[in-house]
Chains A and B, each alone.
Chain A
Amino acid sequence: MQGGYTTREPISPAALLALVAGPDCGATCLFLGTVRDGPEDGGVTGIEYSAYEAMVGAELDRIIAEARRRWPAVRVALRHRLGLVPTEEASIGIAAAAPHRADAFATCRYVIEEVKQRLPIWKKELRADGSVLWVDPQGRPAVVGPE
């Protein structure tokens, strides 16, 4: 899949699965990352995602090409949502289909781990008390504005 990795609309798992479906694939993994408001998260109502979109496309092309070199028979489709994503909705969806389950699981895991390490995307948490906080990669919020 080339380009078209980002969307401001809800991610459709069915559409992702359709992109990787094929008669040669006997195993399909679907990963969804969703916006969370756990007990330690302090009343998150949504996350505002922003991106360096040109680089997101370039980096995802590279990540998926790497996955295809490692698991040549795998098909991969990915969407990352931008803009405001409410709690419980998916911010990312990855579908990986392969002839057998080991490669489908491995590819899906590889792509999400590389995404977390390499994709130029940032998020602001919107809290129930009206505050807005940038989130750092360890999940600790940082105060918006100059330090």
Chain B
Amino acid sequence: MVRLKFLARYAELVGQEDLELAVPVPTTVAEVVRRVRASVPGAGALPEQPLTAVNLRHVRSDAQVRDGDEVAFLPPLAGG
């Protein structure tokens, strides 16, 4: 099980901030993104390669995802 977090505009697209996704682990961020876009209502509007973080760290799409990890979908950053 992987925990999903959608932030800001992506939370509006999906209609919620937190979800869980049953996915064979270990896997990659790219595979989690693919499954989310295909199966989560509203998530088809997410980019194919969104910014992502795993367990509070920015990661690339080939990063590993393990059971219980939190995968966050981040719109383009605009802090400061």
Residues of chain A having any CB pair with chain B under 8 Å:
33, 49-52, 54-56, 58-59, 80, 91-92, 112, 115-123, 134-137, 142, 144-147
A55-B72, A58-B57, A146-B42 as given contacts; A122 in contact with B80, CB under 8 Å: no
A116-B80, A122-B9, A146-B42 as given contacts; A55 in contact with B53, CB under 8 Å: yes
A52-B5, A59-B56, A146-B42 as given contacts; A119 in contact with B12, CB under 8 Å: no
Minimum-distance CB pairs A-B, first 4: A121-B79, A119-B79, A122-B8, A58-B56
Q: Let me know if B57 and A122 touch, CB within 8 A.
A: no
Q: Which residues of A contact B76 (CB under 8 A)?
A: 136-137
**Cα A38 to Cα B6 with chains together (Å):** 31
Q: Which residues of A contact B5 (CB under 8 A)?
A: 52
- Asked whether B75 is an interface residue with its Cβ less than 8 Å from the other chain, the reply is yes
- Identify which of residues 59-80 in chain B touch chain A, using a CB-to-CB cut-off of 8 Å: 72, 74-80
Q: Which residues of B contact A122 (CB under 8 A)?
A: 7-9, 75, 77-79
A55-B72, A59-B56 as given contacts; A120 in contact with B80, CB under 8 Å: no
**Cα A120 to Cα B7 with chains together (Å):** 9
**Cα A60 to Cα B76 with chains together (Å):** 18
Q: Mark B1-37, 1 if CB is under 8 A from A, else 0.
A: 0000101110011000000000000000000000000
A58-B57, A147-B45 as given contacts; A52 in contact with B78, CB under 8 Å: no
**Cα A135 to Cα B77 with chains together (Å):** 9
**Cα A80 to Cα B78 with chains together (Å):** 12
Q: Which residue of B lies closest to A137 (CB)?
A: B76
**Cα A112 to Cα B80 with chains together (Å):** 7
**Cα A117 to Cα B80 with chains together (Å):** 9
Tell me, rounded to whole Å, the shortest Cβ–Cβ distance linking B26 to chain A.
22
Q: Let me know if A52 and B72 touch, CB within 8 A.
A: yes
Q: Which residues of A contact B42 (CB under 8 A)?
A: 146
